[in-house]
Amino acid sequence: MPHDPIELRGKARDSGRMIVLNRSTSNIEHAVFSSIADYFRPGDLLVLNDSYMLSNTLWFQHGGESLQITVYGHEPDGTTIVELKLSEDQCEAGQVLTSLDDARITCTLLEHQPDKLWKAQFNPSELLLPTLDQYGARLDETIHLNPVHWKSTPEAYRSLYAKKPGSLEIPSAGLHFSHELLAQISAMGVEIAYITLHVGATEIFAVRHISEEEIEKHKVRSEYYEVSQRTAGQLNKARAEGRRVVAVGTTVMRTLETITREMGRQTIIKPQYGWTDLYIYPGFKFNAVDVLLTNLHRPRSSHIVLTAAFAGTDFVMRSYDEISEKGGYEFDMFGDFSLLHIGNSSPLLPQGRFADPQRGQIEALRNFTITSYNMRA
């Protein structure tokens, strides 16, 4: 699991490896990401997330000492999920801490949460993101970003098309696209659309790692999304014309499946914004997405479960076996890529086309580990 984006390791953005799963033929190919245009068709609608990641840690006064508070995500009720670099017995609900970066900002601890997290209230809330952007550092649980690179080359940590600050973890799938590759894809007749989902606490290891014995009991936290009038129109037109909708990343997948959840394939999508806590696992009926592009994920994560729901658990596990046998693949947010599709020209198929016999697939996922890689499973 690399600690730096690929271009900070002296390689081109689009030079990573890619595994391609075609559900309709049960075929698995090993390729490089720069060849991904070969798998698109004229008329495809490529949907990208234009959010980018901010710093997540500020310093606050705690008695006579300074205290690091790491911001992991926002909640629909206006509160924030944070981690404090203190033992639990040194904190209590009702404490009010003052920012050492901007004395106008206070953080009130409201309620202790699972996984050593707290629900907190920042006031004034509108100052939080600008202060993170100006003064913040990044603290990450398992992949520790180089602080010098993060401050000197922040653009390496965001997609080339990202324009909206707000994510507290990285929307990583789009990192692979270069300007040249996007131009090539566009020139062949692929249409491009944008949604915004600001990645939050769903991405931290304690939340995306599934510790429950029964994976369907796992919960993800809410994240804010926006779908513009232009994007809604593009989606409706593509769906009406039977063109494929291609989601770049699990953030796009969860947004599109959220907004079509109630009405299915016949939904007329309206411009909207809101919060999603959609957790996708085998048995889920997909209404919006026909092709998924995503990173290679850790075992027992909500991401690998989503991937298995989309492409089929046995098929995904077989592909990871091949990855393990071949060696050299890189995992997680700065790693390699997988392209999952069914190889069918029309998305207007029965809604359950990706759904496996639910119980057997969930049992298989419970035991899914990859022993060839040093991952926390």
pLDDT score for 203: 52
In whole angstroms, give the CA distance from residue 42 to residue 40: 7
Residue 208's pLDDT band (cuts 50, 70, 90): very low
Band (pLDDT 50/70/90 cuts) for residue 336 is: low
Q: Is the pLDDT of residue 278 over 70?
A: yes
Between CA 179 and CA 161 the distance in angstroms is 9
Local structure of residue 65 (DSSP, 8 states): E
Work out the percent of the chain whose per-residue pLDDT is above 90. 44
Which of 37-46, 293-302, 313-322 is predicted with the least confidence, judged by mean pLDDT? 293-302
- 72 vs 117: CA distance, rounded Å: 9
Q: What is the 8-class DSSP label of residue 3?
A: S
Q: How far apart are CA 300 and CA 312, in angstroms?
A: 15
Using an 8 Å Cβ cutoff, are 45 and 243 in contact?
Answer: yes
- Structural domain boundaries of the chain? 6-53+157-344+357-372, 57-126
- Measure the CA–CA gap between 357 and 339, rounded to whole angstroms: 23
Query: Which CATH number is associated with domain 6-53+157-344+357-372?
Result: 3.40.1780.10
Least confident range of 60-74, 183-197, 327-341, 358-372: 358-372
Name the CATH topology of 57-126: Thrombin, subunit H (2.40.10)
d(CA 101, CA 79): 20
Q: Which of 29-38's residues contact partners 24+ apart within 8 Å by CB, and which partners?
A: 30/322, 30/326, 33/176, 33/181, 33/336, 33/337, 34/178, 34/181, 36/181, 36/185, 36/293, 36/339, 37/181, 37/184, 37/185, 37/188
DSSP for 246-260, please give it. Answer: EEESHHHHHHHHHHT
Rounded Cα distance, 216 and 210, in Å: 9
pLDDT band per the 50, 70, 90 thresholds, residue 355 = very low
CA distances from 171 to 50, 81, 168, 174, 244 (A): 9, 18, 9, 7, 22
d(CA 321, CA 327): 10
In the predicted model, what is the mean pLDDT of residues 213-220? 71
Q: What is the pLDDT of residue 47?
A: 98
The pTM (predicted TM-score) of the whole model is 0.84
Query: What would the pLDDT profile of 98-146 be if each residue is shown by its tens digit?
Result: 999 999 999 999 998 877 789 999 999 999 999 998 999 988 766 677 8
